[in-house]
């Protein structure tokens, strides 16, 4: 049994968006003061796609509840099933927490250019506050790096089942 078409579509849409955001995030920081226009434009796209990725995860959670989900193969060892479920839960948590921290750090940063969602300027939900900025800035960074770590394990697991223990191939169900 495959995942439903909508689950598969949103999995790959958000995977592409998040991987792009991780690369852009690392590339654009620290803010290049000597090239303000270029930096501002990268931050603009990072914030816009970051908020889009948050909308994706909200739609994704609602949509997932409306569909029957395939069970993991019965031939898969228990510890691998546990690891897969743990990784999926961690990915969901990080898909929520990372953009929320991004929004908070942009709101609280004194010199922020605002919060952009493509053409729309969104409100700063929390007033400027340097102490909260410092914390959310570090947490956004480390939560993003944790997302990279879980993602690497998630992809490694998928490839292992695909190529090493083919009877447990799960990639087909999400393609």
Q: Which is nearer to ligand HEM, 11 or 132 (CB)?
A: 11
Residue with the CB atom nearest ligand HEM in the bound state: 25
Alpha helix stretches (DSSP H) within the chain: 5-28, 36-65, 78-108, 130-163, 171-174
Beta carbon of residue 128, minimum distance to ligand HEM (angstroms, whole number)? 14
Phi/psi at 116 (nearest 5 deg)? Answer: -110, 135
Within 10 Å of residue 18's Cβ, how many Cβ atoms? Answer: 24
Task: Name the residues that contact ligand HEM, by CB under 6 A.
Answer: 7, 11, 15, 18-19, 21-22, 25-26, 29-31, 43, 46-47, 50-51, 53, 64, 72, 84, 88, 91-92, 95, 98-99, 102-103, 105-106, 115, 137, 140-141, 144, 147, 151, 154-155, 158, 170-171, 173-174
Question: Residue 144: which of 17, 10, 25 has the closest Cα?
Answer: 25
120 forms beta bridges with 117
Beta carbon of residue 123, minimum distance to ligand HEM (angstroms, whole number)? 12
**The Cα angle at residue 56 between residues 8 and 170, in degrees rounded to 5:** 25
Beta carbon of residue 164, minimum distance to ligand HEM (angstroms, whole number)? 14
Beta carbon of residue 105, minimum distance to ligand HEM (angstroms, whole number)? 6
Evaluate whether 136 touches 108 at the Cβ level (below 8 Å): yes
């Amino acid at each position: 049994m495959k995942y439903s078409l909508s689950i598969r579509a949103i999995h790959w849409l958000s995977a592409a968006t998040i991987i792009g955001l991780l690369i852009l995030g690392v590339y654009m920081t620290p803010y290049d003061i000597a090239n303000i226009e270029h930096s501002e434009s990268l931050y603009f796209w990072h914030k816009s796609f970051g908020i889009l990725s948050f909308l994706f995860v909200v739609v994704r959670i609602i949509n997932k509840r409306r569909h029957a989900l395939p069970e993991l193969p019965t031939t898969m060892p228990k510890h691998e099933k546990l690891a897969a479920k743990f990784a999926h839960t961690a990915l969901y948590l990080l898909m929520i927490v990372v953009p929320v921290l991004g929004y908070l750090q942009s709101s609280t940063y004194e010199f922020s250019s605002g919060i952009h969602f493509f053409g729309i300027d969104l409100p700063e939900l929390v007033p400027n506050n340097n102490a909260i900025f410092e914390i959310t800035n570090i947490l956004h960074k480390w939560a993003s790096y944790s997302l990279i770590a879980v993602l690497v394990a998630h992809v490694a697991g998928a490839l292992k089942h695909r190529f090493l223990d083919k009877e447990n191939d799960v990639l087909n169900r999400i393609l």
